[in-house]
Structure 1
Amino acid sequence: MLMNVFLVIYGLAMCFILFYSFAQANLLWHFFRFKDNKMPMATVENKALPFVTIQLPIFNEKYVVERLIHAIAKMQYPMNKLEIQLLDDSTDETSDIIKECLKTYPEVDFKYIHRVDRAGFKAGALKEGLEIAKGELIAIFDADFVPDPQFLLKTVSHFENEKVGMVQSRWGHLNEDYSLFTRLQAFALDAHFMVEQMGRNAQKAFINFNGTGGIWRKSCILDAGNWHADTLTEDLDLSYRAQQKGWEFVYRPDVVSPAELPPVMSAIKSQQFRWTKGGAECAKKHLGHVLTGSFPMTVKLHAAAHLLNSTIFIAILLVSLSSIPVWWGFYKGMIPLEYFKLAAFFLFGFVIIASVYFFANLNLKKFTLRSFFRFLWELPVFLAVSMGLSVHNAQAVWEGLTGKKSPFIRTPKYNLTGKGKNWVGNTYNQLKIPPTAYLEAILAIVFSAMVIFSLFTATYEMLVFHSMLAVGFTLVSITSFRSYLASAR
């Protein structure tokens, strides 16, 4: 009886993963059919250009804030139609660095706004800045971004269409080759920005503002109810409220906004926790409204897959844990071998997901032979590490779905663009080891043992899966302890 329970859990979780892969397959199909959103670039001499406010939300960013200011100061746009808000919530020397750096650009309309009370965190800062923003359009960049100087000229023309509420650019990566983990993050983000964003936008499904590297129509933000701080992903929340109101979003994969990737596991986990928990919170907040609204079925299905995509980590964790008793059932003959052969159908989902990452990453690399061989090792390592993060991210999703609140913890920035630099001395590193790190270490031992048992008993049905789990949990646990302990020295 108990074995049947494990088998049902395993099967249902695998079905959820398969559903997710089918949604990805549809996005991949529309990715191939995507028609470029390029428009003639505006010119600085165009007297009809709208007034733009650039918002720069900042909190304790002493390592990257000067780089950001220097990049923004180079923005090509009429000076009489541009203001730049530095929304500074800092509690350290970042504020002094900003004030000193601004003296370099007296000709640029920088507005320094410092809040003592961080009410609403990033959403609160953006909302407060919006109240006094003069711009018809609002561009937003996080502190670790180095925007394209022509970003505004490449995007403002879309707002000639009065239905357009937001234009999102594609993220680039300043430190993609810094380490294995920065490369794996780039691997994942490229799939999101190439296949997912392009695939959804091509069929007019809901897409999301990615929190930075985008430009909004101010009236769209206000019409959608302004920024809310009741989720950890205020960007996704506002995106769904705006599109439910009928506003159209435009995605520009050809406009690239380079940013920094977290180089250390503690920072990666911080970012992943906020994204996955915030996604779950938005699913709880918006999914019902979307599914019962008068939207096309395609929009509803992709909204469900989009809002529930963080739930994939709960499914992965359930599959991982239930695979142990299921393996035992096969080994002891309690489960017919035909069931395992039937489960091979789920491999179709793996092929789909592999195809998404293949075409997303190799398309950016122009399908070179080098990129192909790089993909061959990146994909299995990426999948293994994603499995290794399932405990951490499943906790975040569960908290989001059950309504447990937690503060907005921003991802530390490092300004590491070369391999010779070290992250250890960063004062923003997190020092507290979370309980999930110990559980990841235990699971690394458990699945390593499963691999050994499979080899000794010649039961190879789940050898590859358990090997990936062993590698994933081992990598995540070791690098987690290393990052926390090294920062504490």
Structure 2
Amino acid sequence: MEVIVIILYLVPTLILFSYSCAQLSLVWNYWQKKRTENGNPPSNITPLSFEFPLVTVQLPIYNELYVVERLIDAVCLFEYPKNRLEIQILDDSTDDTVSIIAQKVHFYQVQGFDIQHIRRRNRDGFKAGALAYGLTTARGEFIAIFDADFIPNPDFLTTTIPHFENTHVGVVQTRWVHLNESYSLITQLQAFGLDGHFIVEQGGRNAAGHFINFNGTAGVWRKSCILDAGGWSAQTLTEDLDLSYRAQLRGWQFVYLENVETPAELPATMPALKSQQYRWMKGAAECARKNLKKVLQSTTVKFSTKVYAAFHLLNSGVFLAVFVMALLSVPILAITAFEPKYDYLFGIFRIFQLSFLMLLGFYGTTHYRHKTFGQFVWQLPFFLTVIMGLSLHNAIAALEGYLGKKTPFIRTPKWGIVQQKDGWQRKNYLVKSLNWLTIAELLLAVYFAAAVGLGFYWHSYQMVVLHAMLAVGFGFVSFYSVKHSIS
């Protein structure tokens, strides 16, 4: 029995080590690109080198009382000729958002904007369905897409559209930045993690010519690329990742612009964050189920790109590995405490503790320009702690995706929260998270807190830090799941 437990513990630990190695390789790719740029600055791409093409801006909306006006205002401030801009508000709303949009559309139509309020009879296909519906009448050669929680800058189109002079480019994606990063501890930790994706992951993959993904918003598609790749599909919860892979398998190139920032609002409550994480994790697993085999069997995709694509598409499976490793770490503690012959295993397990050093390099690269040393020192371990606390929730989402269990698209609520004085309490769209999963997370916090006590009682200290992080992580997630559900 001891051998079985050890093997079951070793497998997810090895998976996590492999994933950390992949992340470290992205750091290498990222810095190689930076060295090249410093030695040979890229030529400036200006909008003056070609005529302004017709651009359609699509705004998929579903019940966005608090943020839809600021989004429409931001798009209408674009530094782009009115006669070359078409705005589609793809409104599936069922509340007062409909009348708010109608008033805004009338206001800007009077000012000469080509802006349309588009309503469907039903919400089939959710966001993917709305985008596909709008595309049937879109006149633009290029399609810019923004979710409701974004506020694009006036120069968005003039900094992205010129990159399409290369006729092989199908997508230009910009980097998300955060309107309300300092609002709370939850938003700070979200920003910490998202920056890792938008700086090192997207930048590292793109630098080496590997597949990246359109992030669902704050980017521009070439319309012919969408059509050539088969169009938007609601078969997965992450329609953006799905279409990205289908397009790149067709040979389209993606451009990632790290230096072009598009501000957005972060979820302010734990239930809202869980809702977003569930969609992202399950959707990624669904995309792996749908597209990974196609990538691996492709005769035109180079081997290294296939490897990176596998890590990318299977990313949400990391949470399965984290949860299994965490759960089995307590039996491992008992085995080593009562069977001294297995002490040598800790020597092997310490090799995999290098994963933390690799993540230190990954997030150090991400934040060396954006954080003070003091901020980084406390945010990195606390971020990893909370990520471990979300491992059960995200593992369930990933497992459902791999098994093909279908669930509806659940939007992430936005409340127009930017400053400390802004609040989400007593507003519409509040998500509740008082369920069996929250109870399980609370019990896991107790489980790992007991493991900390056992470590001291048995004078076996090798896993005390790990178990303390797990106890705090699950405690943090369960506490705020309850607090934000009853406030």
Q: Shorter-chain TM-score: which interval?
A: over 0.9
Residue 330 (structure 1) aligned with residue 336 (structure 2): yes
1:293 aligns with 2:298: yes
Is 1:423 equivalent to 2:428 in the alignment? Answer: no
1:201 aligns with 2:200: no
Q: Equivalent of 2:86, from 79, 83, 86? A: 83
Residues 38 and 252 in structure 1, CA contact (< 8 A), matched pair in contact too: no
Kept in 1, the 8 Å contact 2:58–2:146? The answer is: yes
The residue identity in structure 2 corresponding to 1:481 is V
1:344-374 C-alpha deviation (Å, 9 max, x unpaired): 0001111111211111012334xxxxx1110
C-alpha deviation, 1:122, in angstroms: 0.1
Identity over the aligned pairs, expressed in percent?
A: 49
Q: 1:229 to 1:471 in 2, by over 3 A?
A: same
* Aligned mate of 2:348, from 322, 332, 342: 342
- 1:97 matched to 2:76? The reply is no
TM-score by length of 1: 0.96
Q: Does 1:310 align with 2:316?
A: yes
CA distance in 1, matches of 2:479, 2:33: 41
Does residue 160 of the first structure (1) align with residue 161 of the second (2)? no
Once the two structures are overlaid, the 10-residue window that deviates more, 66-75 or 427-436, is 427-436
Deviates more, 1:19-28 or 1:431-440: 431-440
> Do the aligned partners of residues 432 and 345 (structure 1) sit closer, same or farther apart at CA in structure 2, a change above 3 Å counting?
closer
**Alignment match, 2:177:** 172
Structure 1 partner of 2:124: 119
> Does structure 1 residue 40 correspond to structure 2 residue 44?
yes
- Report the secondary structure of 2:251's partner residue: coil
- Amino acid of the structure 1 residue aligned with 2:59: L
> Equivalent residue of 2:267, what SS?
coil
**C-alpha distance in 1 between matches for 2:42 and 2:223:** 22
**1:246-290 Cα deviation digits (max 9, x unpaired):** 000000001101000001000000000000000000011111111
Flag as ranges the 4+ runs of structure 1 deviating above 3 A.
35-43
> Structure 1 residues 118-127 or 3-12, which shifts more?
3-12
Distance change in 2, residues 1:39/1:137 (3 Å)? farther
> Which range moved further: 221-230 or 425-434?
425-434
Q: Which residue of 2 aligns with 1:67?
A: 70
Match of 2:401 in 1: 400
What residue identity is the alignment partner of 1:40?
N
Over the aligned positions, Cα root-mean-square deviation in angstroms equals 1.3
Size of the alignment, in residue pairs?
479
Does residue 9 of the first structure (1) align with residue 15 of the second (2)? no
Offset at residue 42 of structure 1 (A): 3.7
Looking at structure 1, the residues matched to 50 and 384 of structure 2 have their Cα atoms a distance apart, in angstroms, of: 51
- Aligned counterpart, 2:471: 470
**Distance (whole Å) between structure 2 residues aligned to residue 381 and residue 310 of structure 1:** 20
Q: How does 1:97-246 map to 2 (within 5 A)?
A: 97-105=100-108, 106=110, 107-246=112-251
Counterpart of 1:307, as a letter, is L
State the match for 2:22 in structure 1: 23
1:272 equivalent in structure 2: 277
Letter in 1 for 2:77: K
**Cα distance in 2, alignment partners of residues 229 and 332 from structure 1:** 52
Q: CA deviation at 1:456?
A: 2.5
* 8 Å CA contact retained: 1:55, 1:85: yes
Segments of structure 1 that go 5 or more residues without pairing to the other structure are 366-370
Q: Given the alignment, which residue of 45, 54, 59 partners 1:56?
A: 59
Instruction: Write the deviation string for residues 374-428 of structure 1: whole angstroms up to 9, x where unpaired.
Output: 0000011100100000010000000000000000001000111111222112210
Mean CA deviation greater in 330-339 or 242-251: 330-339
SS in structure 2 opposite 1:132? coil
Distance 1:4 1:364 in 2: 46
Distance 1:147 1:447, change over 3 A: same
TM-score (norm 2): 0.96
* 8 Å CA contact retained: 2:333, 2:455: no
Matching residue's letter, 2:93: S
Amino acid at match of 2:423: N
Report the residue type matching 2:377 in the other structure: L
Residue 6 of structure 1: how far off its partner (Å): 1.3
**Corresponding residue SS for 1:103:** helix
Query: Could you tell me which amino acid in structure 1 is paired with residue 44 of structure 2?
Result: P
Unaligned stretches of 5+ in structure 2? Answer: none
Match of 2:410 in 1: 409
- Measure the CA separation in 2 of the matches of 1:146 and 1:473: 33
Q: Which moved further from structure 2: 9-18 or 98-107?
A: 98-107
After superposition, the C-alpha distances for 1:28-73 in whole angstroms (9 at most, x for unaligned) are: 0011012559663544x77712110000000000000011011111
- C-alpha deviation, 1:432, in angstroms: 5.1
Indicate conservation of the 8 Å contact 2:441/2:475, yes or no: yes
Deviation at 1:434, TM superposition (A): 3.2
Deviates more, 1:433-442 or 1:50-59: 433-442
Mapped contact 2:176–2:198 kept (Cα < 8 A): yes
Deviates more, 1:27-36 or 1:201-210: 27-36
Provide the residue aligned with 1:368 in structure 2: none
Q: CA deviation at 1:334?
A: 5.9
What's the secondary structure of 1:33's corresponding residue? helix
